[in-house]
Amino acid sequence: MIISQRIVLRFPSALIDQPIISEVIKKFQLDFNILQAQILPQQEGLMIIVLSGEEKILRSAFAWLKKKNVKIQLLTQKIVKNETKCTHCGVCVGLCPTKALFTDSATSKVLFDPEKCIACLFCVKGCMMHAMEVKF
């Protein structure tokens, strides 16, 4: 059975110039979608990615990444929008790097597409009404 896992990968600075993702995708024949990446010279690299494949193969790929000293964190938390707390001020829209939060042009209300959310927590930290919440 094919499953998808949202994961956070942290690359030590010694690995940021190596094609680790390319290698793991080819070696284990996985499908992928990069949701966010921050790779800076001489610093730790961070990538939020969705990997899809058979569960056994994904486990093997994770083991391979760990051997390469890549830290893996499953993205198990989920962001939800509490409609009763939201005042539709739009602050979160400007903070969201994936456009999961956006303003409806017809109603001027803030809408949330959880499929685009990468759980970066920018909206949670920026919402003064605490309308964006983390669920585990």
**CATH code for the domain in which residue 113 is found:** 3.30.70.20
Q: For residue 121, what pLDDT is reported?
A: 86
Q: Give the orientation angle of helix 20-28 with respect to helix 55-67, to 10 degrees.
A: 150
Give the span between the Cα atoms of 106 and 89, in whole angstroms: 15
Cβ neighbours of residue 26 under 8 Å, at least 6 residues apart? none
Choice between 76 and 106, residue whose per-residue pLDDT is larger: 106
91 lies in the same domain as 50: no
Within this chain, do residues 123 and 62 fall inside the same structural domain, yes or no?
no
Question: Residue 11's domain spans which residues?
Answer: 2-74
Q: Is residue 68 domain-shared with residue 85, that is, in the same domain?
A: no
Q: Do both 9 and 70 map to the same domain?
A: yes
d(CA 133, CA 121): 9
Same domain, 14 and 42: yes
93 and 48 in a common domain:
no
Name the token pair of 34: 């990069």
Per-residue pLDDT at 78 exceeds 80: yes
Residue 63 parent element (H or E)? helix 55-67
Residue type, 91: V
The SS3 call for residue 132 is strand
The tally of domains found in the chain comes to 2
By three-state DSSP, how is residue 106 classified?
coil
Joined together, the tokens standing for residue 6 give: 């949202």
- For residue 13, what is the DSSP state? G
Backbone dihedral angles phi then psi of residue 95, each to the nearest 5 degrees: -90, -20
Q: Are residues 62 and 31 in the same domain?
A: yes
Q: Same structural domain for residues 35 and 85?
A: no
- What pLDDT score was predicted for residue 80? 95
Say if residue 82 is in the same domain as residue 67.
no
Q: Would the pLDDT of 15 be above 80?
A: yes
Whole-structure pTM value: 0.65
Claim to verify: residue 65 and residue 17 sit in the same structural domain: yes
